[in-house]
Structure 1
Amino acid sequence: MPRLDTQQSPMAPYHIRQYQDSDNKRVLDLFTRGMEEHIPATFCHVLTLPRTILLLLGLPLAMVLVSGSWLLATVCIFSLLLVLRLLARQPWKEYVAKCLRTDMADITKSYLSVCGSGFWVAESGNQVVGIVGGLPIKDPPVGRKQLELFRLSVSSQHRGQGIAKALVRTVLQFARDQGYSDVVLETSVLQRSAEALYLSMGFWRTGQYFMSVFWRLVDIPVIQLKYSFPSA
């Protein structure tokens, strides 16, 4: 299996190669952990919303005024925090479950059996530490051929080594070689480091939208980005 990119860093060497079926367990674990890392950030974001602050202050105060019990008000606050934590957790859990039922259920079939698509892993110390995939857009704008970047994730222990950038660069090179005019992707406003990485590599924002009513209520839009090749 050819190695697509190799980097020797003071921390750990790594190389990027095409996905193999033997990588499946580690790849799914990386993907799941990467998505679930956004749960605490979502919870913190929800706590900063004016409507949440009003709820956390107003409802316990109303209970004190009605019942005269500060204990009941305290229980109310902790109950609200627990509910908000569960609300922040559920959409990410549902998203992971959906992906594991669809494209991630059979990575070889989804990404390696489709013309003009691919899935790559970054390997360090004989262990998969990063992943990324790319699939062609079925209905691109007229005159364009677009590849969508999916599932970029790097293990928390191997961040800061340039692995994510190397994985994105692998997708960009693949897209260029395959004659694509653009690489597009979606991320959320919570994934600030990911967005900063994409922008630093030449992507730019093309729009945003809310995936569901929940995401609209908590004001967390999906950000759409695009990289276009100069020749296109």
Structure 2
Amino acid sequence: MAQKSNAQFSIREYRPSDQLVVTSLFRDGILEHVYPAFFKALSHPDHVGVALSISVAGYVLGGSSYFQALLFGGAWAGLLYYCCHEICEGYMARRLSTDMADIQAHYLDNPDNGFWVAEADVGGQTKVVGMAAVTGKRAEEEGARFDDRNGGVAGGGAEPDQDAGGDGSHGEVSHVVVAFPHRRSAVGSQLMQKCLDFCKERGHARLVLEVSSPQTAAIALCQKVGFVQTASHGNTHANRWFSKLGRVNVLRMEKFI
């Protein structure tokens, strides 16, 4: 369990000198979800049934061999782990080759986008311990993106890109990561508040984010600051069979400002 940190922290805009530490923080934040996703998939009733069936088959084919039963069951578990790892690895590689490849150009040079880091005094040194980003979206971009999802189901009866009394533009938050020792110390909440304040200044009526189902801590943080789930889909941008076997869903959450 994450320990509470008594370190004082502050939030500031990203600087080019933060590139290496931000990239490392992002990598660690994504890959830490491999094991939770794996254990969640492994414990699913359907997968438990498959594992038992495969183990029994191995036992019979091996001439009542317990080793063969364990080998077959282990192979199934290994396949599930591989699927979960590929989902996280694929997402990380995609973002590192697009917006994260040039944070200055994608976020800071665009007035509708923003990228911030949280700093804390660690052992007498100021270190980056968290980050968050916002991308401004127009209504037409949101509509096209939502239609392209596999199995996307919108919550409520309204179109996802229509805000009451607005033009449908909104902010999309991403890359909310807090270093493990500094969790449960309000760093995540303050980063989210910074994103909300930024969107309010830009005239957006709502803030949107997508989070994968294994990210239980992130989901709890979003709910704590007032986000509600409005949609879910299975498009993880990985091979669709990886997503199915990994039992990973993507939850769309929104908060009106």
Normalised to the residue count of structure 1, the TM-score between the two structures is: 0.89
Which is worse superposed, 153-162 or 61-70? Answer: 61-70
Q: 1:202 aligns with which of 197, 208, 226?
A: 226
**Aligned-pair CA distance for 1:83:** 2.6
| Structure 1 position 127 matched with structure 2 position 130 | no
SS for the counterpart of 1:12 is coil
Deviations for 1:82-119, whole angstroms, at most 9, x for unmatched residues?
23222221110111011100010000111111121100
SS for the counterpart of 1:11 is coil
**Which residue matches 1:221?**
249
Q: 2:182 aligns with which of 147, 151, 158?
A: 158
Any runs of at least 4 consecutive aligned residues in structure 1 with deviations exceeding 4 A, and if so which? none
Contact 2:21 2:128 in 1 (8 A): yes
Question: 5+ unaligned residues in a row in structure 1: which ranges?
Answer: 1-8
With over 3 angstroms needed to count, the CA separation of the structure-2 counterparts of 1:56 and 1:165, relative to structure 1, is same
Contact 2:59 2:68 in 1 (8 A): yes
**Which residue matches 1:183?**
207
SS for the counterpart of 2:91 is helix
The alignment yields a C-alpha RMSD, in angstroms, of 1.7
SS for the counterpart of 1:72 is helix
The amino acid of 1:19's aligned partner reads: Y
With over 3 angstroms needed to count, the CA separation of the structure-2 counterparts of 1:10 and 1:73, relative to structure 1, is closer
SS for the counterpart of 1:174 is helix
Q: Distance in 2 between matches of 1:67 and 1:203?
A: 52
With over 3 angstroms needed to count, the CA separation of the structure-2 counterparts of 1:74 and 1:199, relative to structure 1, is closer
**Which residue matches 2:20?**
25
Which is worse superposed, 120-129 or 74-83? Answer: 74-83
Q: 1:102 aligns with which of 98, 103, 106?
A: 98
The amino acid of 2:248's aligned partner reads: I
With over 3 angstroms needed to count, the CA separation of the structure-2 counterparts of 1:34 and 1:42, relative to structure 1, is same
Q: Distance in 1 between matches of 2:49 and 2:5?
A: 49
Aligned length: 221
**Which residue matches 2:137?**
137
Which is worse superposed, 27-36 or 200-209? Answer: 200-209
Contact 2:58 2:71 in 1 (8 A): no
| Structure 1 position 91 matched with structure 2 position 91 | no
| Structure 1 position 12 matched with structure 2 position 40 | no
Q: Distance in 2 between matches of 1:210 and 1:80?
A: 22
**Aligned-pair CA distance for 1:10:** 6.9
SS for the counterpart of 1:23 is helix
**Aligned-pair CA distance for 1:77:** 2.4
SS for the counterpart of 1:104 is helix
**Which residue matches 1:35?**
30
Contact 1:144 1:182 in 2 (8 A): no
Matches within 5 A, 1:53-92: 53-68=48-63, 69-92=65-88
Which is worse superposed, 45-54 or 30-39? Answer: 45-54
Q: Distance in 2 between matches of 1:101 and 1:85?
A: 24
With over 3 angstroms needed to count, the CA separation of the structure-2 counterparts of 1:204 and 1:71, relative to structure 1, is closer
| Structure 1 position 174 matched with structure 2 position 198 | yes
Contact 1:49 1:218 in 2 (8 A): no
The amino acid of 1:210's aligned partner reads: G
Q: Distance in 2 between matches of 1:171 and 1:50?
A: 38
Contact 1:18 1:120 in 2 (8 A): yes
Contact 2:7 2:120 in 1 (8 A): yes
Which is worse superposed, 216-225 or 117-126? Answer: 216-225
Normalised to the residue count of structure 2, the TM-score between the two structures is: 0.81
The structure with higher relative contact order (CA 8 Å, sep 6+) is 2
With over 3 angstroms needed to count, the CA separation of the structure-2 counterparts of 1:130 and 1:87, relative to structure 1, is same
Deviations for 1:67-88, whole angstroms, at most 9, x for unmatched residues?
3122222222233322322222
